[in-house]
Chain A
Amino acid sequence: MMGNTACAEGAIAAGCEFAAGYPITPATEIATRLAERLPRVGGVFLQMEDEISSIAAIIGASWTGKKVMTATSGPGISLMLENIGFAIGVETPCVIVNVQRGAPTTGMPTAGVCGDMVQPRRGSHGDYEIIALCPASPQEMFEHTLLAFNFAEKYRTPVFVLSDAFVGHMREEVLIPEPGKIPIAHRKIPAVGMDPQKVQGFLDENVAPMPIFGKGFRSHVTSSCHDEYGKRNLSDLAALDNFVRKLCNKILSHKRDIVMVEGDYEGAEVVLVSYGAVSRAARMAADRAREEGLPVGTLRLITPWPFPGEEVGEMAKKAKKVIVLENNLGQLYPFIKAEAAHYSEVFFLPPRVIGEIHDPENILKQIREVLK
């Protein structure tokens, strides 16, 4: 199954009922699959006039209690960013898939380049935190999309699936578990019938119940600075401080539950740090290096955001040399280096040609180089 198709299947398995999007290479197959699948489960895919309205429509539908998603590529995310900030501000569960392509600007649509790695974290204005997952295979396109829905529901926040054209268009076997065996999360909502004046539907570090529309909560939902009841406050800086910190801490104080890495570096002197499609090349290079008797391990970041700083630091304490591999000119490298450089020497290995997956032989060469 193609990675993008598996992504759509993951959404269906998670209980997605509404999706909206705009055609864009290399993400379009997600939309076409959803357009085929959703109506049969009582849902719908809407092709919108642009990406701005796509994200707006899914946020609106999420406020009615539906599980929602959109899928696009870098240019689409650029257009969505204002409303992604809105979704964060009013704590709206939604899944945003970015099948990254050659960039900047219109770039090269069919090239797989992880060039938008920091965009979900810093693209919209202001301080905020985000959850993002980085699949490396069609199987993970299914699993991470499902997981993204569950995180979105649990933490009432937009969650990114940061794929790329390689993984999106890759075809591999995908195992889809039986419906009963898939863990599905649902957002909390306040008790129906309670006094609307008493509903605290916002700004709880442990996630406030979502006062969705149509249930009599008479919710006032504004992305302007507000308090725990949703009441707007545009003059008190203490209210702004509370607004920003609570939203950030809602994610940061649950890092232990959210952050996922895959480490295989016991006894390794050199650790290859990577994510997404590149982690497959890193794996292969590490295996070959070990065959040669070289002490090489790997660390794969499954969730680039919230950033797995502690996990990177822990690895760096055990390694002597860290090689960061990315299919870009070093987007997560500064973040990794900031955590690892206290303990070990950190190198960055860009792809030989941007858009080309690292050649394991080339990685091996670099390993031998740093081990000299």
Chain B
Amino acid sequence: MTEIVHPLHRFIRPHVTSTTNCPGCGNGIAAQAILRAIDELGMTLDDFVFVTGIGCSAWIPSPFFDVDVLHTTHGRPIAFALGIKMGLPEKKVVVTSGDGDLAAIGGNHLIHNARRNIEMTVICLNNRIYGMTGGQAAPTTPLGLKTATTPYGTFENPFDISELVIAAGATFVARWTTYHPRQLTAWIKKAIQKKGFSFIEVITQCPVQYGRKTGSGSAVEMLREYKERSISVKEAAGLPKEKIQGRIVVGELVDKEAPEMLEEINRMRKRASGEKT
């Protein structure tokens, strides 16, 4: 009898036998989308370096993907990734990170590297809560929701992370949910190929913390909610603002050209050594 092996199994580190994700977590859907994208592009993991911060999102490639992975400190993965890209410009550098990493403690690195337009892909697993530490409010938690640190409901306005990176100058931004694995895969492929700072926001379910604390229910209920609340960019564009209130606008939000930092550095080096540019 032939052994049946998952087609993406070859991308998993050999000694890793089990996942650390909770049942129902959206990380698995995102992990598959990333690996499928790499596979469909005809690339291998050796073409990549993965960088993570702290939080559940970090555990997508660390230690699971059989590739160079730098698992860094909370909020700082993009800053580490910038240094890696400087040293290995020919590699694709991908950061998997969360809304706590990117929109709270590491917000500064997110906006500045979007501004720099350094070629890298940042995949933000936005579960709108601190999952690993037990369901505390994040800068992305919708106003009024009850969490571990807001037992009477949050009283702060949340960030729209994609709008934040667009405003900061990111040249490629797309948002999907874990209800959209095929679209997610397709747009991760585009992001990886983008010569510039690309950002993918994945709205993802955390049934154990977000689901329980906020009363959003199980993984299935949360995915159903994503299905019902999602609205495409095209559809949303024709509607007045109040009609898209509470909806998740999904699709490609930005794809534009801007000077890319590594290319600019190469030009600067030529100027420094007196060559004409």
- Which residues of chain A have a CB within 8 Å of any CB of chain B? 18, 20, 36, 39-40, 42, 44, 46, 48-50, 52-53, 56-66, 68, 82-83, 86, 196-197, 213-214, 216-224, 231-232
- What residues on B are CB-neighbors of A82 within 8 Å? 73
Say yes or no: B67 contacts A218, CB within 8 Å.
yes
Q: Give complex CA distance A217, B83 in Å.
A: 19
Say yes or no: A52 contacts B63, CB within 8 Å.
no
Say yes or no: B68 contacts A218, CB within 8 Å.
yes
Q: Give complex CA distance A52, B72 in Å.
A: 12
* A-B CB contact pairs (8 Å), 30 listed: A18-B83, A18-B86, A20-B83, A39-B265, A39-B273, A46-B82, A53-B108, A53-B109, A56-B80, A56-B82, A56-B83, A57-B82, A57-B83, A59-B83, A60-B70, A60-B79, A63-B68, A63-B84, A64-B83, A64-B87, A82-B73, A83-B73, A214-B91, A218-B45, A218-B46, A218-B66, A218-B67, A220-B63, A221-B68, A223-B71
Say yes or no: A197 contacts B109, CB within 8 Å.
no
- What residues on A are CB-neighbors of B14 within 8 Å? 197
Nearest A residue to B270 via CB reads: A39
Q: Give complex CA distance A56, B46 in Å.
A: 23
Nearest A residue to B84 via CB reads: A60
* Nearest Cβ on chain A to B152's Cβ, whole angstroms: 32
* Nearest Cβ on chain A to B207's Cβ, whole angstroms: 23
Q: Give complex CA distance A224, B62 in Å.
A: 11
- What residues on B are CB-neighbors of A218 within 8 Å? 13, 45-46, 66-68
Given contacts A86-B72, A221-B68, 17 further A-B contacts (CB under 8 A): A42-B269, A44-B269, A46-B82, A46-B86, A52-B76, A53-B76, A56-B83, A56-B109, A59-B83, A60-B70, A60-B87, A62-B87, A63-B68, A63-B83, A63-B84, A64-B88, A224-B71
Nearest B residue to A57 via CB reads: B83
* Nearest Cβ on chain B to A44's Cβ, whole angstroms: 6
Say yes or no: B73 contacts A60, CB within 8 Å.
no
Nearest B residue to A82 via CB reads: B73
Q: Give complex CA distance A218, B16 in Å.
A: 14
Main SS class of interface, A: mixed
Say yes or no: B63 contacts A60, CB within 8 Å.
no
- What residues on A are CB-neighbors of B85 within 8 Å? 60
* A20, A46, A196, A221: the one within 8 Å of B71 (CB): A221
Say yes or no: A63 contacts B70, CB within 8 Å.
yes
* Nearest Cβ on chain A to B121's Cβ, whole angstroms: 15
Say yes or no: A60 contacts B82, CB within 8 Å.
yes
Known contacts A39-B273, A49-B109, A197-B15; decide if A223 and B72 are in contact (CB<8 Å): yes
Say yes or no: B269 contacts A219, CB within 8 Å.
no
Say yes or no: A219 contacts B83, CB within 8 Å.
no
* Nearest Cβ on chain B to A234's Cβ, whole angstroms: 10
Nearest B residue to A195 via CB reads: B14
Q: Give the tally of cross-chain contacts (CB within 8 A).
A: 132
Nearest A residue to B268 via CB reads: A39
* B67, B68, B86, B91: the one within 8 Å of A61 (CB): B86
* Nearest Cβ on chain A to B213's Cβ, whole angstroms: 24
Q: Give complex CA distance A65, B83 in Å.
A: 11
Known contacts A63-B70, A223-B72, A224-B71; decide if A18 and B109 are in contact (CB<8 Å): no
Known contacts A39-B273, A65-B87; decide if A222 and B68 are in contact (CB<8 Å): no
B51 at the interface (CB under 8 A from A): yes
Say yes or no: A53 contacts B68, CB within 8 Å.
no
Say yes or no: B272 contacts A40, CB within 8 Å.
yes
Known contacts A40-B273, A61-B87, A64-B84; decide if A86 and B73 are in contact (CB<8 Å): yes
B112 at the interface (CB under 8 A from A): yes
Say yes or no: A83 contacts B71, CB within 8 Å.
no
| Interchain residue pairs A-B with the least CB separation, the first 4 | A64-B87, A60-B83, A56-B79, A53-B79
Q: Give complex CA distance A44, B71 in Å.
A: 24
Nearest B residue to A89 via CB reads: B73
Q: Give complex CA distance A344, B272 in Å.
A: 58
Q: Give complex CA distance A40, B272 in Å.
A: 6
- What residues on A are CB-neighbors of B268 within 8 Å? 39, 44
Nearest A residue to B89 via CB reads: A64
* A42, A61, A216: the one within 8 Å of B83 (CB): A61
* Nearest Cβ on chain A to B71's Cβ, whole angstroms: 4
Say yes or no: A216 contacts B46, CB within 8 Å.
yes
Say yes or no: A214 contacts B49, CB within 8 Å.
yes
* Nearest Cβ on chain B to A136's Cβ, whole angstroms: 32
Q: Give complex CA distance A162, B24 in Å.
A: 51
Say yes or no: B72 contacts A56, CB within 8 Å.
yes
* B51, B69, B80, B87: the one within 8 Å of A219 (CB): B69
* B76, B79, B88, B109: the one within 8 Å of A214 (CB): B88
Q: Give complex CA distance A299, B23 in Å.
A: 63
Q: Give complex CA distance A63, B14 in Å.
A: 22
- What residues on B are CB-neighbors of A57 within 8 Å? 79-80, 82-83, 86
B248 at the interface (CB under 8 A from A): no
B191 at the interface (CB under 8 A from A): no
Nearest B residue to A18 via CB reads: B86
B38 at the interface (CB under 8 A from A): no
Q: Give complex CA distance A60, B14 in Å.
A: 25
Q: Give complex CA distance A82, B74 in Å.
A: 10
- What residues on B are CB-neighbors of A223 within 8 Å? 71-73
B81 at the interface (CB under 8 A from A): yes
* Nearest Cβ on chain B to A12's Cβ, whole angstroms: 13
Q: Give complex CA distance A196, B68 in Å.
A: 10
- What residues on B are CB-neighbors of A49 within 8 Å? 108-109, 112
* A18, A20, A214: the one within 8 Å of B68 (CB): A214
- What residues on B are CB-neighbors of A86 within 8 Å? 72-73
Interface centre among B14, B49, B79, B88, by most chain A C-beta atoms within 10 angstroms, is B79
* Nearest Cβ on chain B to A192's Cβ, whole angstroms: 12
Q: Give complex CA distance A218, B48 in Å.
A: 10
* Nearest Cβ on chain B to A319's Cβ, whole angstroms: 45
Q: Give complex CA distance A58, B84 in Å.
A: 8
* Nearest Cβ on chain B to A328's Cβ, whole angstroms: 30
- What residues on B are CB-neighbors of A39 within 8 Å? 265, 268-269, 272-273
